Amino acid sequence: MATADLDGRICLITGATSGIGEATATGLARLGAHVILVARDKLRGQASREKVRVQSGNRRVDLLMADLQSPGEIEALALQVLDRYPALHVLVNNAGVVNLRREVTPGGLERTFAVNHLAHFQLTNLLLARLHASAPARIVNVSSHGHKFGSIDLEDLQTERKKYAWLRVYGASKLANILFTYELARRLEGSGVTANCLHPGAVATSLGKNNGRLGHIVLPLLKPFFLSPEQGARTSIYLASSPEVANTSSRYYVKCRAVPSSAASHDEALARALWKASKRLVPISI
């Protein structure tokens, strides 16, 4: 598997204070990239920044703050990136949540859909012009095989009508990731910016620990069956750096190989409709 020297390349990773995100940041920093970590907790973010610097031997690791459940904070994050960095070569949309119960953001959005899909949609669109100008550039969206358990109901994106079932809601958000990736790739064709998505595997991360006592009990019991964050990050690092996929777009990867995603993820009419619906929910111009 070929990897590239990323010296001079600027890479932004969301959800970078633990698990796959932190491991992805470390891997890209080891390849010489100037890495930008996005975190919502300042102390955890500072600790991760130092950890990535030490483990990679690369001091070009920055930290920006944003709570990705807030469209306003995402907009502020994008403005900081545009102000501070003359180029952006890789965007890894890695942040994600699992909620066993329905939760609503301060802005009134269902939290799983907001963080897992809308945040990716908004941030990518706000940074798209900079990625265009920095081409060749890459967008990497972390999805999941869980997308096969979900479906998109355009009339109930916030799960207000149906009974909340966490696996179905999580699966829908991961299906949205793939629909977004494929539609984005179609719109980016010929631009020098690629868009791909991936399933990282079942990884031992902190995902789901926000669910109180149940999450803290169940996750440690399952941990021996999970991949390590470093193993889970391999496909993200591959898509962000490998010359083998420099010109590849609109693909779904598992273990660094392109594999078929679900039939629903290839519904172009649904992808366009989801794009329009997402555009109504979050601002994508600054």
Distance, CA of 170 to CA of 85 (rounded, Å):
33
Catalytic annotation on 253? no
The tens digit of pLDDT for each residue in 105-124 reads: 999 999 999 999 999 999 99
Helix (H) or strand (E) holding 62: strand 61-65
What confidence score (pLDDT) does residue 3 get? 58
Q: Minimal CA–CA distance to 237: which of 8, 77, 32, 17?
A: 32
Point out the least confidently predicted range of 14-18, 118-122, 213-217, 242-246.
Answer: 213-217
Mean pLDDT across the stretch 153-162? 96
Placement of tokens 């719109």 in the chain: 187
Assign 225 a pLDDT band (cuts: 50, 70, 90). Answer: very low
What confidence score (pLDDT) does residue 92 get? 98
Q: Which residue has the higher pLDDT, 57 or 228?
A: 57
Q: Minimal CA–CA distance to 120: which of 65, 61, 192, 173?
A: 173
Mean pLDDT across the stretch 146-150? 95
Check the CA dihedral 55-57-58-61 and report its sign: positive
Placement of tokens 């990867």 in the chain: 253
The tens digit of pLDDT for each residue in 49-101 reads: 999 999 999 999 999 999 999 999 999 999 999 999 999 999 999 999 999 99
Distance, CA of 63 to CA of 48 (rounded, Å):
9
Upstream peptide bond of 71 is cis (omega within 30 degrees of 0)? no
The tens digit of pLDDT for each residue in 229-267 reads: 899 999 999 999 999 999 999 999 999 999 999 999 999
Distance, CA of 120 to CA of 94 (rounded, Å):
8
Q: Minimal CA–CA distance to 88: which of 40, 142, 136, 122?
A: 136
Largest CA distance in the chain: 51
Indicate which residue of 85, 164, 170, 238 is catalytic: 170
Point out the least confidently predicted range of 46-55, 210-219, 262-271.
Answer: 210-219
Distance, CA of 251 to CA of 186 (rounded, Å):
11
